[in-house]
Amino acid sequence: MGEDVEIRYRTCPLCEATCGLAIEVRGDDILRITGDEEDVFSRGYICPKAHGLKALHEDPDRLRTPLVRHAGELIPASWDDAFAEIDRRLSPIISAYGRDAVAVYLGNPNAHNLSSLLYGPLWLKALGTRNVYSASTVDQMPKQVAAAHMFGHLLSVPVPDLDRTQHLLLLGANPAVSNGSLMTAPDARGRIRRIRERGGKVVVVDPRRTRTAELADEHHFIRPGTDALLLFALVHTLVAEGLADPGPLADLCNGLEEVEALAREFPPEAVAERCGIPAGEIRRLARELAAAERAAVYARIGTTAQQFGTLASWLVDVLNVLTGNLDREGGAMFPLAAAGQPNARPQRGPAKGARPPRWHSRVRGLPETFGELPVACLAEEIETSGDGQVRALITVAGNPLVSTPNAGRLERAIRTLDFMVSIDVYVNETTRYADVVLPAPSPFARSHYDLALYQLAVRNVAHYSPPVVADDGVPEEWRTLLRLAGIFAGQGPDADVDALDDMVAAGLAQREASERVSAEELLRASEGLRGPERLLDMLLRAGPYGLSLEELRAAPHGIDLWPLKPRLPELLRTPSGKIELAPEPIVADVERLRRFLSDGPVHDGLLLIGRRDLRSNNSWMHNLPPLVKGRDRCTVWVHPHDAARLGLRDGGRARVRSRTGTLEAPVEVTDAIMPGVVSIPHGWGHDAPGVRLSVAAEHAGVNSNLLADEELLDPLSGNAVLNGIPVELEPA
């Protein structure tokens, strides 16, 4: 290594796994990225996406200057002019039509972004709209709804104790590729492999034979959308065979008998045909789960982005309880993060638990969940005239025209908006319609701490990363967000950002104060800091380990806070102070599942599901050459039996049609997909006019969300159905 080359360490900000990176830099030039062997969590592991970070930092298509639309064209502008334009155009809309006339869409990267997480609540409050949408309702919302009902908080999501479990049952999850989702687990592949190496067992249930399934002892195909039936049949078997034993948790649970009564109606024989799994196999899976010394059930997007998402998410943790595995080592456990974990904050007054919806969407009457509405209803809220019609849109790190259902309809709706602002690194399929685009900094130009993801980590760790490069020419994001907040609050485009920051800090200090540390002490201790660093320092000091930013700065490979420890009943925030095993709204939805089982038409046509690739993360990494090289990954997978029946051939093209749209894609014939199921990955379709993604345009693929139906939802969470969409295929 040359004399002027140094290594800087930081957490990879791209996905939920929080891997440690070692970055060779010369000045502000990024030379090489490898895994940080000393990282306390990832121990040197990285995936290919980490190498894409250098390409992202250097990408000539990445925005460095604001763009403002003049005469139909997005033209480079100064930051002051861009904010002035937002104030000039947006403020009159708010004055004339009210705050609900402005909708917000927050993309997935916000969950990885310290500024977004810390300053988002302020600017959203300043805007004051009820039309808040996010990627949550095309992803994990059902799990959060189930957690809120059962444990009292949307972030009380148990994760499998991967490093100590002896039996792992996974449904609709592919951690060998995702490295965990609602489960932060760098090198999940290695962790899963080690379960088998220590004599444990791994079982995967999925309509695809995924990379995780290839690592497992067993894989079972399941018809998309029937996971809740399978899970109920597992509960049924445990109860019917006297295998249900919550152990010490029994006294901490309400609703045990009600769950047992509900499960009686779902014997394995009744669900086997619907699920595509023989009854005998279901019984065996249940017995093995009950017999395992330490077991965990874990389920993800295949079970959440579907019609019974909340029921399936709930039943996963019912199983963890009934097998005595919730909150015990090697089972499904609750992490304890060092900062910002709401279920670790001292409880003031009686716990409220899950709240009923506070408002409903204007057109379809869909309920609000945790402050947001289902993104599947955004198009109709723009299209439908009347009081409260959405006339303006703000997107932050999001690409809803690629990521959300019936993208064709949403595109037509977005074209009719009076005004649109986007904060993004690219002019993508969505931001090309914006009137003002504000660049976000390079991931290397901002500090990083995984405030949200450590609350889902399979080991308690804390890792702060300062910026790797000094200045990217783009203001720090928190300053951009506070300038927007100033506009929304009526202070104009030149609001005093530092005064707003002081206000945020004072509010956070009040919220985090406890008997152990007062608000004044928190503010005093973090004197001299500004922006997210000051807020993070206060959160760490108020947190359960009493850490400080200074301590984290002194630990470039992170601080290990040890394996997960039992946290019940301390974390419960239900009004009863118990685990609610049979929450009323969830129990009420069982009737819908019952009808589906007894009366619903047996769909014998093709069902579409998504899939994830190690080199993709939703829609925004396809402009990075290292991540798109090689063969075309945006293909439609078809089982050989279906291919033969439909006259499709490997390497040929198929026309895929749903209620909402039609597209054509290359065919891959493979027995890794269940007969009767086809799969297309989401996040593609980059050849639209006006998109400034020169590399992605060469690897455009197709937008699978043209086929996703905005009418299909999980009613309790408002989550879109992206797995199990009825489609027809024919040769193109």
Q: Which residues are at the interface with ligand SF4 (CB under 6 A)? A: 12, 14-15, 17-19, 46-47, 49-50, 179, 186
Q: Which is nearer to ligand SF4, 17 or 425 (CB)?
A: 17
Instruction: Give the angle subtended at the CA of 454 by the CAs of 312 and 63, to the nearest 5°.
Output: 100
Q: Is 353 left (phi over 0), alpha (psi -120 to 50) or beta?
A: left
Helix-, strand-, coil-residue percentages of the chain, each rounded to 5: 35, 20, 45
CB of 380 to ligand SF4, least distance (A): 35
Cβ neighbour number for residue 613 with a 10 Å cutoff: 17
Residue (36 or 709) nearer to ligand SF4, CB? 36
Cβ nearer to ligand SF4, comparing 15 with 326: 15
Least distance in Å: CB of 191 to ligand SF4? 12
176 close to 211: Cβ distance less than 8 angstroms: yes
- Separation CA 403–CA 703 (nearest Å): 8
CA distance 340 to 535: 10
Kindly state the smallest distance separating residue 448's Cβ from ligand SF4, in Å.
11
Smallest gap from residue 44 Cβ to ligand SF4 (A): 11
Instruction: Please tell me whether residue 421 adopts helix, strand or coil conformation.
Output: strand
CB of 564 to ligand SF4, least distance (A): 20
Q: Cα–Cα distances in Å, from 248 out to 236, 237, 573, 578?
A: 21, 21, 19, 13
Q: Could you tell me which residues come within 8 angstroms of residue 630 by beta carbon, excluding any fewer than 6 positions away?
A: none
Total length of the chain:
732
CB 52 to ligand SF4: min, Å: 8
CB of 161 to ligand SF4, least distance (A): 20
Please choose, from the candidates 232, 94, 129, the residue with its C-alpha nearest in 3D space to the C-alpha of residue 586.
Answer: 232
CB 616 → ligand SF4: shortest distance, Å?
10
Residue 688 CB, nearest approach to ligand SF4 (Å):
26
First to last CA, the chain: 54
The smaller minimum CB distance to ligand SF4, of residues 14 and 716, is found at: 14
Which CB, 19 or 497, lies closer to ligand SF4?
Answer: 19
| Closest-CA residue to 255 (of 570, 263, 297) | 263
Question: Among residues 111 and 716, whose Cβ is nearest to ligand SF4?
Answer: 111
Residue tagged 């592919």 (tokens): 174
CB of 46 to ligand SF4, least distance (A): 4
d(CA 643, CA 676): 10
Nearer to ligand SF4 (CB atom), residue 213 or residue 453? 453
- Minimum distance of ligand SF4 from residue 19's CB (angstroms): 3
Phi, psi for 297 (deg, rounded to 5): -105, 135
Structure tokens at 605: 């046509």
Using left for φ > 0, alpha for ψ between -120 and 50, and beta otherwise, residue 577 falls in left
Task: For the beta carbon of residue 190, count every other beta carbon within 10 angstroms.
Answer: 16
Pairing relationship of beta strands 132-134 and 662-669 according to DSSP bridges: unpaired
What distance in Å separates the CA atoms of residue 177 and residue 210, rounded to the nearest whole number?
9
Q: How far is the CB of 27 from ligand SF4 (least distance, A)?
A: 24
Q: Is 314 helix (H, G, I), strand (E, B) or coil?
A: helix
| Cβ distance to ligand SF4 smaller for residue 21 or 727 | 21
Nearer to ligand SF4, 450 or 533 (CB): 450
Nearer to ligand SF4 among residue 188 and residue 691 (C-beta):
188
CB of 13 or CB of 374, closer to ligand SF4: 13
- Report the residue number, 457 or 608, with the smaller CB distance to ligand SF4: 457
| Cα gap 370→98, rounded to integer Å | 22
Q: Minimum distance from CB of 41 to ligand SF4 (Å)?
A: 10
Please state the closest distance from residue 13 (CB atom) to ligand SF4, in A.
8
Sort strands 332-333 and 253-254 into parallel, antiparallel or unpaired.
unpaired
Least Å distance between CB 110 and ligand SF4?
A: 16
Q: How far is the CB of 708 from ligand SF4 (least distance, A)?
A: 25
Q: Which residues contact 291 (CB under 8 A, 6 or more apart)?
A: none
Amino acid at 267: P
Three-state DSSP class for 390? Answer: coil
Give me 554's structure tokens. 């002194």
Looking at the Cβ atoms of 17 and 654, the one nearer to ligand SF4 is: 17
Task: Measure Cα distances from 127 to 92, 131, 134, 240, 377 in Å.
Answer: 13, 10, 16, 53, 20
User: Is beta strand 20-26 parallel, antiparallel or unpaired with respect to 5-11?
Assistant: antiparallel
18/723 with CB nearer ligand SF4: 18
- Rounded to a whole number of angstroms, the minimum distance from the CB of residue 710 to ligand SF4 is 30
**Between 184 and 303, CB nearer to ligand SF4:** 184
Q: Under a CB-based contact definition with an 8 Å cutoff, are residues 706 and 589 in contact?
A: no
Tell me the angle at which helices 279-291 and 227-240 cross, rounded to the nearest 10 degrees. 60
Q: What is the dihedral of CA 403, 360, 127, 429, to 10 degrees?
A: 20
Contact in structure between 435 and 75 (CB atoms under 8 Å): no
Angle at 171 between CA 168 and CA 174, to 5 degrees: 85
- Hey, what amino acid is at 701? G
In terms of CB distance, is 328 or 459 closer to ligand SF4? 459
Task: State the Cα–Cα distance between residues 19 and 143, nearest whole angstrom.
Answer: 24
